[in-house]
Structure 1
Amino acid sequence: MRLYPFFASPPFLQTERPGRFILLLGIMGISLVSSMEVVKLPPEAKREKARLEFLFAEIPQRYPAVIRKQVNNMELRMYRVTWFQKRLQVSGTHRIAIPADIIRVWSYFKTIEFRGENLNRPGNKIVLCAPGKKRSTFWGWGDARKLTGQAGKLHIIAGRDSGYSIEFSGKMSVFEISLSSPAGVSSVFDESIWGTLGAEQPVREVRIRLHPQRIRALAGIARVPRERY
C-alpha cells in the first residue's frame, strides 16, 4: 500500500498544471448549485402542487385508495380511489352528490367505474351532472356487475368543487363508485416545467425580425401558455 502526503495528489488525480484540478472541482460545484436552484413557482403552479399534495395526504385518509411504489424510481403512484361504498337500490330516479374533495382531484383520473347489479339493463341510464344544468350521459363498457367509462365526461368548472352529482334512472343496484388511472397518478410534482430554461445564464440583448403575416411553431406549438409564463 502506497501513502501520499496530504499536500500531494495521487497519480490518478494529478494534472499537468497546478490548480487545474481545484478549478475543475469549483466548476462542478457551481454547476451542482445551479442545478439545485429552487424554481420560483407562479400562483397556478403552487395551486397545482397543493392539489397533488392534498391527493396523497388527505384522500387516502378519507377513502379506500390503491397506492403502489414504482420499482424503477421508487415513487408512489395512486391507481384507484373508491369514494362511494353503499348498497343503493335504484327504482325510478335517484341522485347522489359527489363530495367536494373528490371533485378537487377528479381530473387526475382517467376512468370512473361503477359496481353493482343490473347496471347494463336496457332502459337504465347514468348521467354525470355539473352545476349550471350541464349534463353528460355516461356511456360505459362492461357487464351487469361492472361498468367503466371516461371520467372526463363530467364537466369540471375551475374553482368550483360543489354542486356535482350523478343521476341514476331505471332499475339497478349500485354498490361502489371509483376513480382510476391505469398508469397511476405520480406523487412527484415536476417543478421544472414551470421554470425558465437557461434562467441561470446572463441575459443578452438580441435583435429579431418579425413577420406578422406568417405563423411560426416550435415542435407543433404555436401558442404560449400564458398561465405558465
Structure 2
Amino acid sequence: MNDITTINTAQPATPATIDVDGKPYLRDAKGNLVPVEAVKPADLLMDETVRKITGFARDLSAQIARFKGHTFEDVNGLQALIAQEYGASVGGKKGNITLSSFDGCLKVQVQVADLLEFGPELQAAKALIDECLSDWSADSRVELRALVNKVFNVDKEGQINRAELFMLLRVQIADERWVRAMKAISDSIRVIGSRTYVRFYERATPNAPWNAISIDLAAV
C-alpha cells in the first residue's frame, strides 16, 4: 500500500483574536465582538478544548479519507493485474470482493450495498396487511403481528425498519390479500444508488473467529 503521510493541519488551540484600538476581542456566536478580558475563564477553556479536539479530528478524517482512497486503489490494481495475467475477474458482479492473506489470518472485504427508497405502493401494502390482521383471529399469528409492527414502526427520521421488511417478504401466506401486499412491497422498492464499504478482519490462527479491525469512532 502507498505510504500515508500525516500532515498536521490542525487549527490553533486558541482562537484568533481581533485587535481593536490595541485591545484583543473575540467574536461570539451572534457576531458581536467581546473583549477577551470579559470572557469567562471557563468559556475560554472550553473554546480551547473544542478547537484542540476538532483540529485532531480534522487531521484524522483527512488521513482516513486518504487511507480509503489508497485501499480502493490497491484492490482495483490487484483486480486489474489478475484480469490481465489470467483473463479472469476477481469479485462478484456487484463489485463485492474478499481478499485473504496467505496464512488465512487477515481479510479485507469490499461490499457494495444498494441505496433503497420505497414508493407509495408501500402504503397500499400496509392497508392490505392491516385488513388481513383485522380479519384473522387475534390469537393467531402473534409473531407475525409483532413483525408487522416492527416493520411499520418508523424511526425518528421517518424510515421504516428495512431488515424487518425483507423478513416480512419471506413469509408465505396463501391469503390473496397477503400475496397482493407482498407484491406491492416488492414493487415499492427503488434502487437509487449504491454505497461501497471496506471492512478489515484479523484472527490469531486460521481456525479462530474473525475480529473486526474497527476504524469507526463509535465502535473503537
TM-score for the superposition, normalised by structure 2? 0.23
| Larger helix proportion of the pair | 2
Greater RCO, CA 8 A, separation 6+: 1
Between structures 1 and 2, the one with greater strand share: 1
Scaled by the length of structure 1, what TM-score is found? 0.22
